[in-house]
Amino acid sequence: MRDCKLKDIYIDYSISTKFDYNILTQYLFLPIEENELFIKIATTLLSNIDLIQSISHKLIKPVIFEEKELLFELNHLKIKQNLFNISEQIMKNSSKENLVNIFIQNIVAFAIEKHGSDIHLENTSTSFSCKIRVDGVLINFFKFDSTLAPIISSILKLYSNLDITQRRLPQNGRFTLTELNDYDFRISTMPTINGESIVIRILQKNFDKFDLSKIGFNDIALEIIKQKISLSSGMILVTGPTGSGKTTTLYSIIKELKQTNKKIITIEDPVEYKIDDITQISLNYELNLTYSEILKNILRQDPDILLIGEIRDALSLKSAITAAMTGHLVLATLHTNDAISTIHRLLDLESESFLIASVLKCVIAQRLVRILCQHCNNSNQTGCKECNNTGFKSRTIISEVLDISNDFSNLISKKATYNEMYENAINSGFTTIYQDGLNKISKNITTKDELLFAIQS
């Protein structure tokens, strides 16, 4: 048992309700299993066993775990007890819908409280787990009886107007909850060998949260970005792998531009955040409403600014360049590792180098790193309740912003090598993602491990 993790063990949370919460935290133990003869507990030390035995009036079987694991469980014990009790009632009660609604609302509200971005409901051969992605890291918060899974799945599909009888094909939808009306929820279901996997993306409706000056760009990068987005035409690219914060950067730019009384059109897959006074288009592959199809016709809508969710192929790049050449400011994303390799990626998409050189104004390459928790970092702890015992709370951008100068445009036209472009950029004051990360480490914002993990992704 010592080799396993506490999060991987099925815990009967009804047992812990028999103990005073202050006793559990004072003596650092958590009951996990009980029968007529004994109570099995998770603990960090053996010195309190006699005392615990006198409280419980039963034989105690201790299992030793790391203190960090046990504190995590104790910090979330009350919500886990509540959800466990509701799940037990669902299993016993023939009229389940109201209980399931309460169960789902509790999980979603908890995920929001923890600043989660996604909720993962997954089946295994023995249990039904609920994991929440917090600051990019998937944390296993809850584990329930596997027979609960199809019941939860059916209600979530009803919320999202999906086919509740279809369990063999993927489905996607959206739903809202009256009790949490500041949020939208996007749902994806996927058949697996153990049943359906369900992922719920949490989307905050509040567009005001996007602020270009507060997401992590350094002063020089921010100045370049603000200068470039004030142009009336050209192309600005935001690059990085999936989960690097590209959408947040684009929406923060849109918020800046929204105040300019210009016609802004976005093409997204799908639309994540609904914005007043912005024309937003969501792709629909069933109707052949693709990037290419929309881009062929979008200029007739008379936009000033065009946001393209992603440049995926030569046709979408050609359309983006055409828009940028005809007096429109184009914002788009691309999957590349750094700013300079973006140039060669564009060339690989069969675009003429002189066209890229004439329209490209700026490339923003970025990653996300976790921020050290200010509650426990200042007291030399390794984690606390505020940061789920991880030592980190929230995330920030590390970035490199490539300002396309006249000299650099000439290099693009000549199809210069990566090294030639890199040397020119460095001589012009270009700061790499790695250097930006080191600067944030020196300010005690993040750690070297976080930086290395981010740039290797």
> What are the φ and ψ backbone dihedral angles of 373, each rounded to 5 degrees?
-65, 125
CA distance 83 to 349: 51
Q: How many helices (H) and strands (E) does the chain have?
A: 18, 16
**pLDDT tens per residue across span 229-265:** 999 999 999 999 999 999 999 999 999 999 888 999 9
For residue 385, what pLDDT is reported? 82
Bridge-based pairing of strands 116-123 and 59-64 is unpaired
446 pLDDT higher than 60: yes
Tell me the percentage of the chain whose pLDDT exceeds 70. Answer: 98
For residue 259, what pLDDT is reported? 83
Under the banding of pLDDT at 50, 70 and 90, the label for residue 155 is very high
Candidate from 180-184, 351-355, 377-381, 425-429 with smallest mean pLDDT:
377-381
Q: What share of the chain is helix, strand, coil (3-state, %, to 5)?
A: 45, 25, 30
For residue 279, what pLDDT is reported? 97
207 pLDDT higher than 90: no
For residue 388, what pLDDT is reported? 85
Under the banding of pLDDT at 50, 70 and 90, the label for residue 56 is confident
- Please give the domain boundaries of the chain with CATH numbers for all domains: 1-84 (3.30.300), 93-205 (3.30.450.90), 219-456 (3.40.50.300)
**pLDDT tens per residue across span 371-424:** 999 888 765 666 888 888 889 999 999 999 999 999 999 999 999 999 999 999
Residue-wise burial string across 289-320, b where 16 or more C-beta atoms lie within 10 A, e elsewhere: ebbeebbeebbeeebbbbbbbbbbeebbbbbb
- The closest of 331, 335, 384 to 360, measured between CA atoms, is 331
- The closest of 187, 69, 189, 202 to 133, measured between CA atoms, is 202
Look up residue 420 and give its amino acid. E
